[in-house]
Amino acid sequence: MAIFGIGAYWDDKDDMVEAFFEQRCACIGWSREEAPTLYEMLQGVRIGSIVYLKSFNPNSGLRIKAVGIVDGPIIKTNLSDDSLSVAWIWTGEELIGQVNDKYSARTCTIYEEHNPNIQARVVALLLATIASARV
């Protein structure tokens, strides 16, 4: 199992977070022809993987907008023929801030998260939401 960060701000103007929630998905904002490498990465995300919607601004840093679990195979949605099926568990907004680990992938649309502090925070948001739902 892995943790993936996925951008939800398309064309520097369209915040797709609500659309992702409504369609229980996450996807890439470019066509397969425009971004074949990103589609290869998307195909590598497995059922059971954790995904988090993120934004990253070099000045303010990393912001987490939602955390979910991939709960099925690639699906077709109104947004893309290749969308991850995601059960969104935690929604909100949490500013992580500057992350000084020289991992430049955070500016990309999709990447695997390797920073243990960010991984721990994503899992903590997920588990806290699950635990509070049990009460």
Q: Which CATH number is 37's domain given?
A: 3.10.590.10
Residue with tokens 């500016």: 107
Sign of the Cα torsion 114, 120, 125, 129 reads positive
pLDDT at 11 over 80: no
- Its domain, for residue 34, covers 3-134
Tell me how many domains the chain contains: 1
Secondary structure, 3-state, 7-36 = ECEECCCEECHHHHHHHCEECCCCCCCCCH
- 33-86 pLDDT, tens digit per residue, is 999 999 999 999 999 999 999 998 888 999 999 999 999 999 999 999 999 999
H or E element that contains 110: strand 110-112
What's the pTM value of the predicted model, to 2 decimals? 0.94
Tokens of 103: 């991992």
Give the pLDDT confidence of 119-134 residue by residue, as tens digits: 999 999 999 999 988 7
